Amino acid sequence: MPKPADEELEAALLKAAEMRDNDDDPFNMAKCLLSHNYRIKHLEDVLAIADRYCNMGMAQRELTHLVRAIDKAKNAESYTSQTQEQRFGLE
């Protein structure tokens, strides 16, 4: 399936927000779109930073950026699923 154009995505997100505000989301499609859009931003950051890390000789600074981006993506996942991330005291 092709990726939507920026204008298409923006229109869909506006409509989804409107549907949620009006409590008119019987199949939770608007909720899913808004949640996935929020989470994918963090995952795209992880991908970009991981790519940069691999292409720059795996420098320590890039590793630090990658770890932070992964943490942000995990936090976004926890926030949207309304669960706490399990920690083992090793971080």
pLDDT digits (tens, 9 = 90+) for 31-83: 999 999 998 988 998 888 888 888 777 778 888 888 888 888 888 877 777 66
**pTM across the whole model:** 0.67
Residue 33 lies in a domain: yes
Residue 89 lies in a domain: no
The residue type at 6: D
Domain with 49 in it: 6-81
How far is residue 78's CA from residue 41's CA, in Å, rounded to a whole number? 15
Domain count for the chain: 1
How far is residue 78's CA from residue 58's CA, in Å, rounded to a whole number? 28
Residue 28 lies in a domain: yes
